[in-house]
Amino acid sequence: MEHADFRGRAAAYIGSGLADGTPAPVIAETFEGLDRVADAHRLMESDTHTGKILVTL
């Protein structure tokens, strides 16, 4: 298989998933408010989480 063909098929596959919402991020933890930013940063630095760390305002 040529690289260009593979790239085209991969782009179509990823694009279709993004269009229908199939790939969703994994959320490790949500922190509410700016007063929790330090807690979120500590979690990030600990390197013990899997997924995204969210801070909501």
3-state secondary structure of 1: coil
- The confidence score (pLDDT) of residue 46 equals 97
- Condensed to tens digits (0 to 9), the pLDDT of residues 7-57 reads 888 888 888 877 787 778 899 999 999 999 999 999 999 999 999 999 999
What gap in Å lies between CA 5 and CA 1, rounded to an integer?
A: 7
What gap in Å lies between CA 8 and CA 37, rounded to an integer?
A: 40
What's 3-51 look like in SS3? HHHHHHHHHHHHHHHHHHCCCCCCEEEEEECHHHHHHHHHHHHHCCCCC
